[in-house]
Amino acid sequence: MGKVIVITSGKGGVGKTTSTANLGTALAMIGKTVVIIDADVGLRNLDVVMGLESRVVFTSMDVIEKRCDLDKALVKDRRVEDLMLLAASQRNRKDDIKPEQMFDICERLREEYDFILVDSPAGIEQGFHNAAAGAEEAIIITTPDVSAIRDADRIIGLLQNQNIDPISLILNRLSPTLVKKGNMISKNDVLDILNIDLLGVVPEDEGVIASTNRGVPLVHNEQSPGAEAYMRIARRMTGQRVPIPEMREDNFFSNILNWFSRK
């Protein structure tokens, strides 16, 4: 029996889709069988980030309305074995799907796959409830911004009401240089407020933009600090003990930043 994990944030633009794509790919690279589900009906883009846009024929809506089998709607990844995408319908709206239907799809998938990652839409409305319906665990993505943290806090409250446990946190786009200057909220301050387990920290990485636009998840580029962070997180998700490195000023990543700012 696999695990169904919803990846959510409340606020938009903090990296839910990017994280889903990268964690799904990373887990599959480790050798797990993975399905990533786009729950953002009407505004789908997980297929674009994965570079699978042109291969989507059927969506979760087609499965729900029994136009095709679940197996047929799963799109195989181009690069990694055992990674599948279930795309969202672009023609429908979020309230066209009911939480029970989403739950049903997740239940069927977990019989065959190790990890089912559900990419939640932003917001706390029907789309979020659908995404969380089949999940037993949740990963909250937040950036170190007051607004993102506030929304994450709200979402944690809602997930706890649905008895989703454990709820863990990925702190995305942290810049150690800015933290040191006092211009960014630190990891410890975020944890202090949200008070949930930290699954990992992803540093600010310009490579994300290029990888998103090319439709190749960042983890394929082993050199990037963001990719390393996602690989570590994926290992932690499989139960391995991988320490969270303290991001210091003198690491590779900030050296580059320093080098730029010296010029």
Cα–Cα distance between 95 and 113 in angstroms, integer?
A: 27
Q: How far is the CB of 165 from another protein (least distance, A)?
A: 13
Tell me the β-bridge partners of 3.
115
Name the token pair of 8: 């959510």
Of the candidates 55, 150, 180, 235, which one interacts with another protein according to CB under 8 A? 150
- Binding string to another protein for residues 164 to 193, with x set by CB under 8 A, is what? ----------------------------xx
Nearer to another protein, 49 or 148 (CB): 148
Q: Does 160 bind another protein (CB under 8 A)?
A: yes
Closest to 126 measured CA to CA, from 40, 7, 249: 40
Q: Does 153 bind another protein (CB under 8 A)?
A: yes
Of the candidates 4, 156, 167, 231, which one interacts with another protein according to CB under 8 A? 156
Query: By CB under 8 A, which span of 113-121, 135-143, 150-158, 212-220 interacts with another protein?
Result: 150-158
Cα 126 from chain centroid (whole Å): 19
Q: Does 195 bind another protein (CB under 8 A)?
A: yes
Q: Does 157 bind another protein (CB under 8 A)?
A: yes
Name the token pair of 30: 């480790």
Measure CA of the first residue to CA of the last residue in the chain; give whole Å.
54
Quick check: bond before 217 cis, omega within 30? Answer: no
Cα–Cα distance between 95 and 121 in angstroms, integer?
A: 12
Residues that bind another protein (CB under 8 A): 150-151, 153-154, 156-158, 160, 192-193, 195
